[in-house]
Amino acid sequence: MQELPTLASFKMVLLWQNTKNMMNFMTLITFLLFIMPSISYSQYLGNNILLTNRKIFPKQEPISSYAVVFDAGSTGSRVHVYHFDQNLNLLHVGKDVEFYNKTTPGLSAYADNPKEAAESLIPLLEQAERVVPVNLQPKTPVKLGATAGLRLLDGNSSELILEAVSSLLKKRSTFNVQSDAVGIIDGTQEGSYLWVTINYVLGNLGKDFSETVAVADLGGGSVQMVYAVSREQAKKAPQVPQGEDPYIKKIVLKGKKYYLYVHSYLRFGKEASRAEILKVTNGSPNPCILAGYHGTYTYSGEEYKAFSPASGSNFDECKEIILKALKVNDPCPYGKCSFGGIWNGGGGSGQKTLYVTSSFYYVPTGVNIADPNKPNSKIRIEDLKTGAEQVCKTKYKDAKATYPLIYEDSLPYACLDLIYQYTLFVDGFGLDPLQEITVANQIEYQDALVDAAWPLGNAIEAISSLPKFDPFMYYFI
């Protein structure tokens, strides 16, 4: 006959079971405590320590990254330093959300002295190094993009300058200098980076292409027009001759694919266009020049006679000359062209809202068409014509007192520059004179201002390629 378990034996079984459960529980706790520090370190950076009453943990500081971008333009060199969090949102650099400074002249002014060209960047480089924390500098990408100024140099001058700059950065810089860090960015890159900048700051990235804005940039040597089109419209883009930039640029931003129509018109920036316009009159009086001026205009090593007829400048006569310089009547093999036989992208909802930058901002603000005290203003294209008609009546000797915001060397061309912009928009790009546009030097972002320029777009590309960021959210095809 089997004996019944005693009370004591029941107590022993319960004690053993509780002990086993406690051991399993303690094993679990030990395992969790073991892995927690590694989780903290993998998600956060920094050496600061947070002391609790039970355990010492690393102080949780969000991951952040810096990027340094040099804009080597035709009239000067500029440095931009950006600070991003792990979601590619801009963080403050001091009281602003970017550090910016510039120096003149541009690299192209040192065509005969590449070493001196590179050394002209040292003050800007040193300033950037003071902004980026020392421990993050080796991981901070640095980029230098040369634009139209170097594109227009003869021979191998631009190559020698870029080699000298690359050598300087590798020897002198504490930043991360990749093999492709220094180079001439083509018009397609410059335009698409600017489009990214403007739409990033406005919070449009990740939205449908119809909710983005178009951008146009008037630099010294070239002008760009960029806007997003539908996939169907992108398929209609004509093929370009070998060696030329394609009309469509594909990029993915916040996981959304965009098809950008982008074209850069070399020799039609503000300074370059003056030369093209003076070529038309070829040493004869030019009705785009203010009355009373008689001199020469120098661009890219070439001199052009610049003087007005006895009757002074004239809007209609000047516009006819500009139309010839733009070659608006060149054959258009694609059905819809801008000027010079260039496909215009077909227009559409991606172009309905237009932001214009660089000299598209400086010229109107210089004659008070747009408010010079605001970082951006809305005007109508027609306002450029109204302002030009007034400016063109001014005699050169009175121009400085009348328009004190215009640089002295630009005064003779105040009439020309305004008529050129109006003609470029209406006859070149085919826009309605009554269309409202935003002329922008800077754009509001959170509680600060961001430059309306291509370097931020370049910085986003550089940062998004780092291993810590999701490669499917941002990439440039």
Q: Which residues contact 98 (CB under 8 A, 6 or more apart)?
A: 80, 81, 82, 90, 450, 451, 456
Report the Cα–Cα distance between both ends of the chain, in Å, rounded: 85
Query: Quick check: is 122 in a domain?
Result: yes
Write out pLDDT tens, residues 19-59.
Answer: 445 445 444 444 444 444 433 333 333 333 333 333 444 44
Question: What is the rounded CA–CA span in Å between residue 74 and residue 275?
Answer: 15
pLDDT value at residue 12: 41
In a domain, 355, yes or no: yes
**Which 3 state secondary structure label does DSSP give 232?**
helix
At position 143, the amino acid (one-letter code) is K
Q: 364 and 464: one domain?
A: no
Among 70, 78, 79, 61, which Cα is nearest to 135's? 61
Q: DSSP E strands: which ranges in 419-458?
A: 436-440, 442-445, 448-451
Looking at residue 472, its pLDDT comes to 58
Domain co-membership, 461 together with 355: no
pLDDT in tens, 417-460: 999 999 999 999 999 999 999 999 999 998 899 999 999 999 99
For residues 275, 277, 278, 280, the Cα torsion angle rounded to the nearest 10 degrees is: 130
- Compute the CA torsion angle 69, 72, 78, 81 (nearest 10 deg): 0
Is 198 within a domain? no
Region for residue 271 given its phi and psi (left: phi exceeds 0; alpha: psi -120 to 50; beta: otherwise)? alpha
In a domain, 333, yes or no: yes
- CA max distance for the chain: 136
Residue 255 lies in a domain: no
Residue 279: give its domain's CATH number. Answer: 3.30.420.150
280 and 401 in a single domain? The answer is yes
User: With the C-alpha atoms ordered 344, 273, 181, 183, is the resulting torsion angle positive or negative?
Assistant: positive
289 plus 164 within the same structural domain:
no
pLDDT at 470: 67
- What is the C-alpha separation between 342 and 266, in angstroms, rounded? 12
Task: Look up the CATH number of the domain holding residue 106.
Answer: 3.30.420.40
Residues identified as active-site: 190
The residue with tokens 């459960």 is 21
Same domain? 297 vs 421: yes
CA-wise closest residue to 434 among 354, 318, 324: 354
Three-state DSSP class for residue 176: strand
Q: Do 348 and 397 fall into the same domain?
A: yes
Same domain, 272 and 331: yes
Q: For residue 460, tell me if it sits in a domain.
A: yes
By C-alpha distance, which of 193, 206, 198, 201 is closest to 256?
A: 206
**Is residue 288 located within the same domain as residue 415?**
yes
Pairing of strands 64-72, 142-146: parallel
Q: What is the pLDDT of residue 56?
A: 43
**Within the chain, how many helices (H) and strands (E) appear?**
14, 21
pTM assigned to the model: 0.83
Q: How many structural domains are present in the chain? A: 2
| Shared domain check, 438 and 289 | yes
For residue 21, tell me if it sits in a domain. no
Rounded to an integer, what distance in angstroms lies between the CA atom of residue 185 and that of residue 22?
66
- Residue-number span of the structural domain to which 73 is assigned: 62-185+454-476
Q: Say yes or no: 395 and 434 in one domain.
A: yes
* pLDDT for position 352: 96
Residues 397 and 458 in one domain: no
Structural tokens at position 152: 């227009």
Q: Assess whether 435 and 301 both reside in one domain.
A: yes
Return per-residue pLDDT of the chain as tens, 477 residues. Answer: 444 444 444 344 334 455 445 445 444 444 444 444 433 333 333 333 333 333 444 444 557 899 999 999 878 899 999 999 988 899 999 889 999 999 999 999 999 999 999 999 999 999 999 999 999 999 999 999 998 778 778 889 999 999 999 999 999 999 999 989 999 988 889 999 999 999 999 999 999 999 999 999 998 888 999 999 999 999 999 998 888 889 999 999 988 999 999 999 989 999 999 999 999 999 999 999 999 999 999 998 899 999 999 999 999 999 999 999 999 999 998 889 999 999 999 999 999 999 999 999 999 999 999 999 999 999 999 999 999 999 999 999 999 999 999 999 999 999 999 999 999 999 999 999 999 999 999 999 988 999 999 999 999 999 887 776 665 566 666
Residue 204 included in any domain: no
